Amino acid sequence: MGQPLVLRSVAALRAWRQQCRRAGETMGLVPTMGALHVGHLSLVNRIRQEADRAVVSIFVNPTQFAPNEDFSIYPRTFERDLQQLSEIGADAVFAPTVQEMYPDGFATTVTVAGPAKVGLEDAFRPTHFGGVATVVSKLLLQALPECAIFGEKDYQQLAVIRHMVRDLDIPVEILAGLTVREADGLAMSSRNVYLSPEERALAPKIQEILQGCAEKLRKGSAILAAETWGRTELAIAGFEVDYIAVRDAASLAPVDEPRPGQSLRILVAAKLGRTRLIDNIAAN
Ligand code: PAF
């Protein structure tokens, strides 16, 4: 398949979008920060089933990184990303510069609450979801796609974006992509390249422990007991645990006693050395 059209400016994206619309074609957006892996490609494949045209944005968004985080070393692999996207038939790549997205004098941000303030990622990365919400609302308004897709791997991010789109009446359907895992269970992530060989060997434990927690809940364990078990097992395995929490799957609110039929999600964030891993699974 041919190389996707590379669009560097909002004007070029809008012109292409307009051309698609005139041809009667729908468009789906896959927002990414590049360093694409099979998980991202699965999102592109899914969006191609939902829309006539697929555009992938590649933008390492500075506003969602705190000063002590990995913005400067975040993997940037643009040529490889393009190659992979040509192989699966993405139609266009929107790759703006920081100046294009945040021109001098930029002064407007989106403030999020609800699922963005539930004591999970937000407790450890307090400015993160504001940055995500601002850039995602810009991308949605720039591209005006019929649908956009986000991976369940970043489960709280997905909940925040769904909520924001609903609250701000942004006319787009938000789709969720299933987490893609390595053969040993580790959730694919662009940050997995930071792991040393020893850490990489340990990392799948996070998924095993999530499964163990879900199993305990299915067998009737109390939520607090399952969380405590998970935290202890992670610590024994060598992780520094930020959180492991069983939450309502939609609101991400804490749950003491699940209601009959209530969907629960188990979410975890833990560090191996300097690499912070996040993962989540359905609990029931
Ligand atoms: O999940 C990501 O890669 C980013 O947070 C996103 C949604 C592309 C916004 O920068």
Q: How far is the CA of 64 from the centre of ligand 1 (A)?
A: 9
| pLDDT for position 55 | 98
Partner residues linked to 216 by β-bridges: none
Q: How far is the CA of 178 from the centre of ligand 1 (A)?
A: 15
As a dihedral over the C-alpha atoms of residue 254, residue 67, residue 277, residue 158, rounded to 10 degrees, the angle is 50
**Range 273-278 average pLDDT:** 96
HEC string for 68-96: CCCCCCCCCCHHHHHHHHHHHCCCEEECC
Give the percent of the chain with pLDDT over 90: 98
**Range 4-29 average pLDDT:** 98
pLDDT band at residue 209 under the 50/70/90 scheme: very high
* Residue 50 identity: E
* Residue 136 identity: V
Determine the Cα–Cα distance for residues 88 and 65; give it in Å rounded to an integer. 30
Which atom in ligand 1 lies closest to the alpha carbon of residue 161? 7
Reported as a single tens digit per residue, the pLDDT across 214-263 is 999 999 999 999 999 999 999 999 999 999 999 999 999 999 999 999 99
pTM of the model: 0.97
Q: Could you tell me which CATH number the domain at 190-282 has? A: 3.30.1300.10
State the CB neighbour count (10 A cutoff) for residue 192: 18
List pocket residues of ligand 1, CB cut-off 6 Å: 31-33, 61, 64, 132, 135-136, 154, 157
**Range 28-38 average pLDDT:** 98
Partner residues linked to 247 by β-bridges: 254, 265
CATH topology of domain 5-177: Rossmann fold (3.40.50)
Determine the Cα–Cα distance for residues 73 and 198; give it in Å rounded to an integer. 21
**Range 265-283 average pLDDT:** 97
pLDDT at 193 over 80: yes
Q: Kindly report the protein residue whose alpha carbon is nearest to atom 6 of ligand 1.
A: 32
pLDDT at 204 over 80: yes
State the CB neighbour count (10 A cutoff) for residue 210: 23
Query: In sequence order, what DSSP letters do the residues of 234-263 get, joined into one string?
Result: HHHHT-EEEEEEEEETTT--B-SSPPTT--
| pLDDT for position 284 | 85
pLDDT at 1 over 80: no
Q: How far is the CA of 188 from the centre of ligand 1 (A)?
A: 14
Give the percent of the chain with pLDDT over 70: 100
Residue 26, both tokens: 């729908």
**Range 267-277 average pLDDT:** 97
The mean of the pLDDT values for the chain is: 97
Inter-residue contact 206 to 268 (CB < 8 Å)? yes
Contacts of 62 (CB under 8 A, 6+ apart): 71, 98, 102, 131
pLDDT at 192 over 80: yes
Q: Kindly report the protein residue whose alpha carbon is nearest to atom 8 of ligand 1.
A: 32
**Range 55-73 average pLDDT:** 97
- Is residue 56 classed as helix, strand or coil in its secondary structure? strand
Reported as a single tens digit per residue, the pLDDT across 93-146 is 999 999 999 999 999 999 999 999 999 999 999 999 999 999 999 999 999 999
| Residue whose C-alpha is closest to residue 94's, from 44, 53, 143 | 143
Q: Kindly report the protein residue whose alpha carbon is nearest to atom 9 of ligand 1.
A: 132
The residues of the chain that CATH labels 3.40.50.620 are: 5-177
pLDDT band at residue 2 under the 50/70/90 scheme: confident
Determine the Cα–Cα distance for residues 276 and 115; give it in Å rounded to an integer. 21
